[in-house]
């Protein structure tokens, strides 16, 4: 989708009225959610105009992807909603399917916002991973943790001005295996996975931040591997968008709450969604999700990068992932939205190519105020 089409979509989106009220992937209905639930999901968000998008003029290019290291792990890839026990070797590398790359059509780097407003582009990046913990996600979690170290290393290398990373993981339901203070709370950052079927079954902290999120001061390969393997005994009524909104919303960000100090107003937000099913559990629709996420970043949608590892259109693995039509629509509304294939042999190519969009979003970051 080119930039003019994205802008047309956003103009249409602004005409969609927002739900009123305050605010985690399987198929199914909405589980009988009533209007109070919808209000709880999308509330306390006012309709605001997204920020100005960069002017396109030419296509961007990226370097060749690095070769991932071989990783062995327990578990086999299964079809949506199924679980198969066994032992297999995680893929050692190779490019993903042709459709797994990001859909950037961004052109040249954006014009500077205001030379006097900041000395550098964004120096802070908040990464939130929303990981499906339903029964069909065992191998996908293994693939994610195997691909993560190269991804975060490239962020640190390519975005040299980024001095501070906040990294958090949430599941797509109210995660019962979290530490007792925040267990059974939708959107609470994961700090332990004790007792979870197929999980790392460990206490992942304490983290260097003193909070429930990881930073560059942590051994990220170890801590992320622990937190992101949330297991496969979660609800089949997955709610990735509700989980993201709860994780980033004011209730869990309040002083003393589970996600205190995770999301920063002056940081670029990178939202990574990993699920093999359509999003049918969260309240609302893609335009409302777009507005709610954008509102959390002061109405500037270009301050958000969305990376969705889902069932894309024309997937190469129809038996292993459901096409996530609503998540595709949501992701494509963002200037820096990218869609990858959940059943790819590895996610390193997808993450590698996404660096270009993160870098451009960072260059054009619009500080609050």
Write down the pTM of the prediction.
0.70
pLDDT tens per residue across all 369 residues of the chain: 443 444 444 434 334 343 333 333 333 334 333 333 333 334 333 333 333 444 433 333 333 444 444 443 333 333 334 444 434 344 333 444 444 444 333 444 444 444 444 456 789 999 999 999 999 999 999 999 999 999 999 998 998 888 899 999 999 999 999 999 999 999 999 999 999 999 999 999 899 999 999 999 999 999 999 999 999 999 999 999 999 999 999 999 999 999 999 999 999 999 999 999 999 999 999 999 999 999 999 999 999 999 999 998 877 776 778 999 999 999 999 999 999 999 999 999 999 999 999 999 999 999 887
State residue 287 phi and psi, 5-degree precision.
Answer: -60, -35
269: Cα within 13 Å, side-chain hemisphere: 28
The rounded Cα 111 to chain-centroid distance in angstroms is: 27
What b/e readout covers 50-64, taking b as 16+ CB neighbours within 10 angstroms? Answer: bbbbbebeeebebee
Q: What pLDDT, on the 0 to 100 scale, is given for residue 119? A: 56
Could you tell me which CATH number the domain at 3-28+36-42+122-363 has? 3.40.50.410
What's the token pair of residue 344? 């790819």
Q: What pLDDT, on the 0 to 100 scale, is given for residue 44? A: 37
Query: What is the C-alpha to C-alpha distance for residues 24 and 4, in angstroms, rounded to an integer?
Result: 31
- How do the domains of the chain map onto residue ranges? 3-28+36-42+122-363
Query: How would you classify the pairing of strands 124-131 and 164-171?
Result: parallel
Q: What pLDDT, on the 0 to 100 scale, is given for residue 20? A: 32
Report angle CA 231, 311, 325 to the nearest 5 degrees. Answer: 120
Radius of gyration over every alpha carbon of the chain, rounded to an integer in angstroms: 19
Angle between helix 240-248 and helix 35-42 axes, rounded to 10 deg = 50
């Amino acid at each position: 989708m080119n930039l003019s089409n994205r802008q047309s979509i956003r103009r249409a989106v602004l005409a969609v009225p927002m739900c009123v009220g305050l605010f985690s992937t399987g198929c199914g209905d909405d589980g009988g959610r009533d209007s109070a639930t919808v209000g709880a999901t999308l509330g306390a968000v006012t309709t605001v105009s997204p920020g100005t998008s960069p002017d396109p003029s030419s296509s961007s290019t990226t370097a060749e992807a690095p070769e991932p290291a071989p990783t062995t792990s327990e578990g086999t890839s299964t079809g949506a909603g199924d679980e198969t026990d066994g032992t297999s070797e995680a893929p050692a590398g190779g490019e993903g399917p042709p459709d797994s790359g990001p859909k950037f059509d961004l052109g040249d780097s954006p014009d500077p916002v205001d030379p006097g407003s900041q000395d550098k582009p964004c120096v802070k990046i908040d990464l939130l991973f929303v990981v499906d913990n339903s029964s069909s996600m065992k191998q996908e979690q293994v693939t994610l943790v195997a691909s993560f170290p190269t991804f975060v290393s490239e962020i640190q290398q390519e975005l040299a001005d980024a001095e501070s990373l906040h990294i958090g993981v949430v599941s797509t339901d109210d995660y019962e295996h979290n530490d007792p203070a925040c267990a059974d709370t939708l959107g609470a950052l994961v700090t332990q996975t004790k007792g979870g079927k197929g999980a790392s079954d460990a206490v992942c902290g304490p983290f260097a931040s003193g909070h429930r999120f990881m930073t560059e001061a942590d051994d990220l390969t170890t801590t992320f591997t622990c937190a992101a393997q949330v297991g496969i005994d979660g609800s089949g009524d997955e709610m990735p968008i509700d989980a993201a909104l709860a994780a980033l919303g004011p209730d869990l960000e309040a002083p003393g709450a589970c996600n205190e100090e995770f999301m920063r107003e002056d940081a670029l937000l990178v939202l990574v969604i990993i699920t093999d099913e359509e999003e049918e559990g969260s309240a609302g629709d893609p335009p409302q999700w777009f507005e709610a996420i954008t509102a959390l970043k002061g109405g500037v949608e270009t301050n958000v990068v969305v990376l969705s590892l889902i069932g894309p259109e024309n997937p190469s693995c129809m038996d292993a992932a459901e096409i996530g039509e609503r998540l595709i629509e949501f992701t494509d509304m963002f200037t820096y939205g990218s869609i990858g294939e959940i059943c790819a042999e590895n996610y390193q190519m997808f993450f590698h190519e996404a660096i270009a969009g993160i870098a451009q979003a960072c260059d054009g970051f619009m500080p609050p105020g």
